[in-house]
């Protein structure tokens, strides 16, 4: 076993989610040899990783959304690692942006941080909890109306 | 969080699998060998991404199986330094806070990297952040099962390959149980604004 390149490319959580979901579908179709002892490790790691990524906002992304996000990010001049973190975490506050972007106080003004937040929240779809919260907010607003 | 690693390996396909397509057999063998395993200085292997090149398959005298040299790319969990991750608190101990990502468990946040000032509550076995405001000190508990955002500050790989027979004898006489070391551990830190339990920083 030889490692030719230990860092040949960075993968976003969405890409890994897509890959594992496709792998799961393929194996479900082929059926019989999933439960042999050799495949148990693959089953475990696939299940746990899918469970983890499903709880993040990445599960609602698509290749078009990612492409749109990267084109929008071009103007902000961020490094690849910073763009990847923004894509994986979908920060909603300025504090989170300061964590992910190195030396953000020197590189970005407050308006630029606001613009960045706006781009992130408008292009990337929200995670499952944020959608739930949005639904409960809508429900409470309806309840207030008759009063 | 995940990287693509290019590797080369020779895969052995036993004769009873010759009826299957070579690509499928090779993919299955590679996943059997690497999935959910830690490679020294590489990371936790997740699953096969693709096969980039298959060289000729040879059958050697004495062994009916075919041996194929395969160039492939594997998805590996290997967060880069200073990356922000979100995990769940598995538990607290005097060594620090143990965090888990579900598929990866060996993450430790040592006491010096917690939001200061922090103290360890012996009765409940939890770490507490003593947050001071004008009204007084709030005790913020780091309970098990809570989601926590942390920064990766260090990683360490331990070679856990089996040692030779001579050292095994010496070990069995001195210790009853060999110490189980995690092959890949991450050290995290939450000593910055925005890090720590998600509930500390969400404005409702």
The enclosing domain of B7 has a CATH number of: 3.30.1490.120
Residue B185 lies in a domain: yes
Alpha helices for B94-180 (secondary structure H): 165-174
Residue B169 is assigned to a structural domain of this protein: no
Which residues of chain A are within 8 Å of residue B83 when distances are taken between CB atoms?
81, 85
Q: What's the pLDDT score for residue A145?
A: 45
- Contact between B106 and B182 (Cβ < 8 Å): yes
B194–chain A Cβ distance below 8 A for any pair: yes
| Domain boundaries, position B114 | 83-162+174-200
In which residue are the tokens 């040879």 written?
B58
B43-59 and B96-100: which strand pairing? unpaired
Q: Which of B8, B36, B86 sits opposite A41 (nearest CB)?
A: B36
**Interchain contact, B36 vs A52, CB within 8 Å:** no
Coarse DSSP helix, strand, coil percentages of chain A, rounded to the nearest 5 percent? 75, 5, 20
| Residue found by looking up tokens 């998600």 in the block | B198
Minimum distance, in Å, between the CA of residue B100 and any CA atom of chain A: 10
Buried b (16+ CB within 10 A) or exposed e, B81-98: eebbbbbebbebeeebbb
A68 has a chain B CB within 8 A of its CB = no
Per-residue pLDDT of B119-158, as tens digits, reads 888 888 888 888 887 777 778 888 889 899 999 999 999 9
With CA atoms as reference, report the closest residue to B190 among B140, B145, B156, B134.
B140
State pLDDT tens for residues A128-142.
655 555 555 555 444
Mean pLDDT of chain B: 87
Judged by average pLDDT, the poorest of A86-90, A102-106, B13-17, B36-40 is A102-106
Rounded to a whole number of angstroms, the distance from the CA of B9 to the nearest CA of chain A is: 5
Q: Tell me if A7 and B32 make a contact (CB, 8 A cut-off).
A: no
Asked whether residue B72 falls in the same domain as residue B94, the answer is: no
Assess whether B68 and B155 both reside in one domain: no
Q: Find the helix or strand (DSSP H, E) in which B56 lies.
A: strand B43-59
List the one residue out of B18, B17, B140, B201 whose CA is nearest residue A98: B201
Specify whether B118 is located in the same domain as B179.
yes
Task: Decide if B1 and A5 are in contact by the 8 Å CB cutoff.
Answer: no
- Residues B72 and B99 grouped into a single domain: no
B48 exposure class (CB count in 10 Å sphere: 0-12, 13-18, 19+): buried
CA distance A49 to chain B (A): 6
- Whether the CB-CB separation of B63 and B19 falls below 8 Å is answered with no
Domains of chain A (ranges plus CATH)?
63-126 (1.20.1250.40)
Look at residue A58 in the predicted model and tell me its pLDDT. Answer: 87
- Tell me the average pLDDT across B57-74: 94
- Verify that B180 and B94 share a domain, yes or no: yes
CB of B201 within 8 Å of any CB in chain A? yes
Q: Tally the domains of chain B.
A: 2
Put simply, whether A18 touches B (Cβ < 8 Å) is no
Q: Which of A48, A80, A102, A130 to mutate to test the interface with B (most CBs of B within 10 A)?
A: A48
Q: Is residue B18 helix, strand or coil?
A: coil
Residue of A nearest to B88 (CA): A52
Contact criterion met (CB < 8 Å) for A11 and B101: no
Chain B partners of A136 at a C-beta cutoff of 8 Å?
Answer: none
Asked if A37 and B38 count as a contact pair (C-beta separation under 8 A), the reply is no
Instruction: Tell me the pLDDT band of A59, cut-offs 50, 70 and 90.
Output: confident
Q: Does A44 touch chain B (CB under 8 A)?
A: yes
The Cα B128–Cα B139 span in angstroms is 6
Q: What is the mean pLDDT of residues A108-125?
A: 86
Residue B167: inside a domain: no
Between A and B, how many residue pairs show a Cβ–Cβ distance under 8 A? Answer: 114
pLDDT band at B204 (very low <50, low <70, confident <90, very high): very low
Kindly state the average pLDDT of the residues B38-55: 94
| Residues B125 and B179 placed together within one structural domain of the fold | yes
Q: Which of B26, B55, B77 is the last residue of a domain?
A: B77
Same domain membership, residue B88 and residue B60: no
Which of B8, B80, B195 lies nearest to residue A81, judging by beta carbons?
A: B80
Q: Exposed (0-12), middle (13-18) or buried (19+): which is A6, by Cβ within 10 Å?
A: middle
* Domain containing residue B182: CATH number: 2.40.50.140
Q: Do B35 and A4 touch (CB under 8 A)?
A: no
Q: Are residues B190 and B121 in the same domain?
A: yes
Same domain for B187 and B126, yes or no, is yes
pLDDT tens readout for residues B88-106: 999 898 889 999 999 999 9
- B65 and B109 in a single domain? The answer is no
- Using the Cβ of B126 and the Cβ atoms of chain A, whether some distance falls under 8 Å is answered with no
Question: What is the pTM assigned to this prediction?
Answer: 0.86
Look at residue B117 and tell me whether its pLDDT is greater than 90.
Answer: no
Cβ atoms of B102 and A49 closer than 8 Å: yes
Kindly state whether residue B130 falls inside one of the protein's structural domains: yes
Which run of H or E residues covers position B30?
helix B22-34
């Amino acid at each position: 076993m030889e490692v030719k390149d230990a860092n040949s490319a960075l993968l976003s959580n969405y890409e890994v989610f897509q890959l594992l979901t496709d792998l799961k579908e393929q194996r479900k179709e082929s059926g019989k040899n999933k439960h042999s002892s050799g495949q148990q490790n693959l089953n475990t790691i696939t299940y746990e990783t899918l469970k983890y990524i499903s709880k993040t906002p990445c599960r609602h992304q698509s290749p078009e959304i990612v492409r749109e996000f990267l084109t929008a990010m071009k103007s902000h001049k961020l490094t690849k690692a910073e763009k990847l973190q923004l894509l994986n975490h979908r920060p909603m506050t300025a504090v989170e942006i300061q964590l992910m972007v190195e030396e953000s106080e020197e590189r970005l003004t407050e308006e630029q941080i606001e613009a960045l937040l706006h781009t992130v929240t408008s292009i990337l779809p929200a995670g499952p909890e944020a959608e739930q919260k949005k639904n409960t907010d809508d429900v409470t607003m309806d309840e207030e109306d008759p009063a | 969080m995940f990287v693509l690693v290019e590797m080369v390996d020779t895969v052995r396909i036993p004769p009873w699998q010759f009826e299957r397509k070579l690509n499928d057999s090779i993919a299955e063998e590679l996943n059997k060998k690497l999935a959910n395993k830690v490679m020294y200085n590489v990371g936790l292997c997740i699953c096969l991404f693709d096969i980039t090149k298959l060289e000729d398959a040879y059958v050697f005298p004495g062994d009916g199986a075919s041996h194929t040299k395969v160039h492939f790319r594997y998805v590996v969990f290997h967060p880069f330094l200073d990356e922000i991750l979100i995990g769940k608190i598995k538990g607290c101990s005097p060594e620090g806070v143990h965090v888990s990502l579900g598929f990866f468990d060996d993450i430790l946040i040592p006491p010096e990297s917690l939001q200061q000032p922090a103290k360890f509550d012996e009765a409940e076995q939890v770490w507490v952040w003593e947050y001071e405001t004008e009204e007084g000190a709030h005790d913020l508990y780091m309970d098990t099962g809570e989601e926590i955002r942390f920064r990766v500050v260090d990683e360490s790989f331990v070679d856990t390959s089996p040692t030779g027979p001579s050292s095994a004898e010496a070990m069995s006489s001195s210790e009853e149980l060999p110490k189980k070391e995690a092959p890949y551990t991450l050290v995290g830190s939450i000593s910055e604004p925005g890090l720590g339990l998600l509930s500390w920083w969400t404005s409702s």
